Amino acid sequence: MTIRAGLVGVTGYTGMELARLLAAHPAIKLVCATSRTDAGKKLGELYPFLQGFELAETEIIQPEPELLAACCDLVFLAVPHGAAMEMAGKLRAKGLKVVDLSADFRLRDAATYAEWYGQAHNEPDCLAEAVYGLPELYAERIRTAKLVANPGCYPTASILGLYPALKNRLIHCEDLVIDAKSGTSGAGRKAAVGSLFCEVHDSFKPYGMPRHRHTPEIEQELTRLVAEPGLTPHVTDQGHKPLAGEALTVSFNPHLLPLTRGILASIYTRLRPGVDEAQIRAAYAEAYAGQCFVRLLPAGKLPELRNVRGTMFCDIALVPDFRTGRLLIFSAIDNLCRGASGQALANANLMCGLPLELGLEAAPIVP
């Protein structure tokens, strides 16, 4: 059976990446793509790299919920925050499954969303319904979900890196520092001076300090992991109090790399007394056993962004530094695939009863 998919917001980098991945997907067919500015064109006109694929003949239409409901089973929303929530509400009212790539449904508390995104959340029913779409943690809930909030790119790398250490109480829950670097595609496709080639090339800078919008998303999900000892995330629900009755806090510090794709998160934590390297590696091996897209690197090996480019892989390296009492965690992903469109497609696979990895098994693009 073919699942008919729609894509709202095809002109951005995440829309472009989704079109690339869906061009060869064996079960999910992109039958409808939308753009207000490019309506009436064929997808192949917009993206010449699709020439030779059936997808190239897909006509771009206006983003009208009625049109999408008439031809789609599932819709991807690749539009900015604020715009997604209204569209998601209308699509859910018509019975469609939705995967939202914006931030509109990632934060479970409407007040927190308003604080960090500067606007009220006007779809509280959808907010309550949404499932956070990190497959390694919430696969069972995603399978039955009608609305999935696709995680941010930085949170994906950070949460996957920290999850086993927090779950197994290997590290302290305070003094967590995430030093993360991203390629410029993370800033989107809009014209902006800060992401021009001449501004980014041969340079390196921090940005978004000290209140990057991905911070509360990371803190929310990590707090859930430590909410109650012994509970795994997929059975932990809203309302549980974290350890000591306080929300977990992280120092999240993003930087802009002079390259197109990739995120490398260097995470600094404090080891609990008595924890040894064998315990650390065993905890990570157990946590990600059977998870096809998380690769735990051998001792002595460190991740490189080129080894995950264009893929769903998250490469994790563990470096215990017993001299300073720290566990250093390095987590590398492709921000457009694993951090956005590929993860959205993996979530759609689960929602439609398909294998998680279907259509996403490609090896990295090297050199």
Q: What is the largest CA-CA distance in the chain?
A: 64
Q: Which residue has the tokens 């809203």?
A: 238
And the tokens for 87?
A: 């569209």
Euclidean distance between CA atoms 322 and 274, whole angstroms? 10
Q: At CA 77, angle to CA 50 and CA 52, rounded to 5?
A: 10
Least Cα distance to 293 among 253, 257, 345 occurs for 345
And the tokens for 99?
A: 């995967």
Q: Are strands 326-333 and 314-321 parallel, antiparallel or unpaired?
A: antiparallel
Please list, in sequence order, all residues whose beta carbon lies within 8 angstroms of the beta carbon of residue 40, skipping any fewer than 6 positions away: 59, 60
Active site residue 153: yes
The answer to whether the CB of 142 falls within 8 A of the CB of 234 is: no
Per the DSSP assignment, residues forming a β-bridge with 3 are 28
Out of 32, 72, 126, 153, which one is annotated catalytic?
153
Least Cα distance to 284 among 319, 308, 251 occurs for 319
Please list, in sequence order, all residues whose beta carbon lies within 8 angstroms of the beta carbon of residue 299, skipping any fewer than 6 positions away: 277, 281, 318
Q: What is the DSSP letter of 194?
A: G
Give the SS3 label for residue 353. coil
Euclidean distance between CA atoms 104 and 337, whole angstroms? 19
Euclidean distance between CA atoms 186 and 152, whole angstroms? 10
Least Cα distance to 218 among 86, 97, 82, 331 occurs for 331
Per the DSSP assignment, residues forming a β-bridge with 317 are 330
Catalytic residues, by residue number, are: 153
